Structure 1
Amino acid sequence: MKKSLKTLNYAGGMLMVAALLFSCNKEETAPVAEQESFEVAELKASDEAELISEEILNIAEDVYIADEVLSTSKFSYNSDFLPACVTITTVITSTTRERTIDFGEGCELPNGNTLSGIIFLSYAKDMEQAMNTLSLSLENFTFNGVAIEGGASIVRMRANENGNPQSDADANYAATWPNGDTASFTGNRTREWIEGVGTGFWGDNVYLISGKGTFTGPQGNVFMKETATPLRRELSCRFIVSGVLNISRNEATASLDFGDGSCDAKGLLTYPDGTTEEIFLRRFKN
């Protein structure tokens, strides 16, 4: 009996030691697990989704603005952002203008992104009104080889309280990468045109972007995203050049700072535990 008690005491002691070791180990690895919730590969996919949504909206606005200027000012406007390989057709009904923007089998934009397929736009025929709602949908559409499905509803005002053109878009897209990875992203974004208005050249256009949405990554992880500081998009650059985006998952929040205005692929990621890491964001095909 005494031998059995000793054996039990020894076994119990080992279990306590194991429990303590597990407890300590768990505490030590918690920050790592927290960081793994924000895996850089998924954040890059999320960043690419941001670019895709932004570029689609930019193209829709570019086509709409040319129509608006021609209808209200009676002179033609062309920013030269869409190259000759894009075919745009128009059908006018009694109440609407239906625009088809066809990129064919592949058409490279001035910023290096290559698109294929079709963007459909529809909006009210009356271009004199201060606000107009654009309905956007896609057909066989790809962005740098990523297949995109979905659409958006865009409310565009000619002048906001700052006197600048502004668009408020509710978008819902699904993406499939060439390697089979899939993701979806939904949300609302406000896009204020703050520089280059009316110059007729795309390269000096600057926008401030704000909003929030949901991104479901290739691994099935769901991220909530919201701008803490408006993102600055300069069309002459392939990247967001400044601004801060908060990214939340499982009640933990990280932030992504796009920098001081330099045109580069870098972002500073701050994890929920306060540690930081500079990451490179692949926002285009090269």
Structure 2
Amino acid sequence: MKNFNYVLRNITILLVVAVTLNSCSESNEDVLIDNAANDAVELARSAEVDAASSSVTDIVTEIFEFDEANPNSRVQPPALPDCVTITVVAEQGFREVTIDFGTEGCLVRGHILKGQIVFSYTRDIEAQEVLITYDLVDFYFDNKNVLGNRTILRTRENDNGNPQFTHNLDLTVIWPNGVQASRNGTKIREWVEGFGSGIFSDNVFEVSGDWTTTFVNGNTHTYEVITPLRREVICTYFVSGTLDIQRTNFGGIFDYGNGDCDNQASFTFNNGTEISITLN
């Protein structure tokens, strides 16, 4: 697909033509062009929030599963590098786990992570559920500061017989230039491949749910999963799946593609116009 700057130029050209045909004023033309560029940038940034959120959930899920399978082990989970330090405090029916990436940064699966993820959990044996509560402490995903504390409910088996994680979202991502976005809502992750193998790289999740992303300028995007988002943990972004996205002045379908592990996506506006988006 085209790179993001090229796409924005094409959007601008299309808008200029449309404005000319409709005999709009020069000031209105400028406003429309600016809005289109800002809309495309916000769509890409929202997908970056997805990447940061998915990374946190992946790591918490992985360490939880490893700790459950090896409750007395002092061995580092094989999928994490030595620069990650894991500390476990165990009490009767309660465990607290601190995942420390250091202050200088630790390269984890292609991304520089800093700070800590601290989570604790308790079990409901009868319901076959575990409630995981996590906090992000001075945590950075690449150059983005990620703030948040929330819960993940781990169900042993859903109706399909697969493990399921219901994640109540409450995250804020701050970019180096000061732009920030907050994410609230619910994501349901069904573990469809790789469960019990002990191998990180074969884990695949399907994500459903709905949530809202609010930018510091007041713009709010609402999201609803139309077809499940496929999360292969060896890939930074979802590899397929579609979202219905609505905002005050535009809406449409965000499509992560046909299953390729890449940073390409597309957005089809409600009027049928389609643009390509490159995720950073």
TM-score bracket for this pair, using the shorter chain length: 0.7 to 0.9
Tell me the equivalent position of 1:107: 106
Q: 2:167 aligns with which of 159, 169, 172?
A: 169
Tell me the equivalent position of 1:6: none
Q: Report Cα offsets for 1:218-270 as digits up to 9, x if no partner.
A: 53311101111110011122221100011110174211111111112111210
State the 1:66 CA deviation.
Answer: 1.0
State the 1:79 CA deviation.
Answer: 5.5
Tell me the equivalent position of 1:97: 95
Does the CA-based 8 Å contact 1:231-1:243 persist in structure 2?
yes
Mapped to 2, the partners of 1:181 and 1:34 lie a distance apart of 17
| 1:137–1:127 Cα change, 3 Å | farther
Structure 2 stretches lacking a partner, 5+ long: 1-19
- Decide which structure has the larger Cα Rg and report it: 1
| 1:253–1:201 Cα change, 3 Å | same
Mapped to 1, the partners of 2:60 and 2:125 lie a distance apart of 15
State the 1:272 CA deviation.
Answer: 1.7
Q: Report Cα offsets for 1:143-173 as digits up to 9, x if no partner.
A: 1011111111110012211111110010211
Mapped to 1, the partners of 2:74 and 2:182 lie a distance apart of 37
Mapped to 1, the partners of 2:216 and 2:62 lie a distance apart of 31
State the 1:216 CA deviation.
Answer: 1.2
| 1:179–1:252 Cα change, 3 Å | closer
**Count of residue pairs brought into register by the alignment:** 256
Q: 1:277 aligns with which of 271, 275, 278?
A: 275
Does the CA-based 8 Å contact 1:136-1:152 persist in structure 2?
yes
Tell me the TM-score normalized by structure 2.
0.83
Tell me the equivalent position of 2:120: 122
Indicate the SS of the match to 2:177: coil
State the 1:273 CA deviation.
Answer: 1.1
1:49 matched to 2:67: no
Deviates more, 1:125-134 or 1:195-204: 125-134
Tell me the equivalent position of 1:83: 81
| 1:98–1:75 Cα change, 3 Å | closer
Tell me the equivalent position of 2:221: 223
1:25 matched to 2:18: no
Mapped to 2, the partners of 1:116 and 1:128 lie a distance apart of 37
Does the CA-based 8 Å contact 2:63-2:77 persist in structure 1?
no
Mapped to 1, the partners of 2:101 and 2:121 lie a distance apart of 20
Indicate the SS of the match to 2:87: strand
Aligned residue identity for 2:217: Q
Indicate the SS of the match to 1:51: helix
| 1:177–1:127 Cα change, 3 Å | farther
Tell me the equivalent position of 2:14: none
1:190 matched to 2:217: no
Indicate the SS of the match to 2:152: strand
| 1:202–1:128 Cα change, 3 Å | farther
Aligned Cα root-mean-square deviation (Å): 2.8
Does the CA-based 8 Å contact 2:123-2:129 persist in structure 1?
no
Aligned residue identity for 2:176: P
Aligned-residue sequence identity (percent) comes to 36
Mapped to 2, the partners of 1:277 and 1:166 lie a distance apart of 33
Does the CA-based 8 Å contact 1:270-1:276 persist in structure 2?
yes
Aligned residue identity for 1:144: D
Does the CA-based 8 Å contact 1:113-1:144 persist in structure 2?
yes
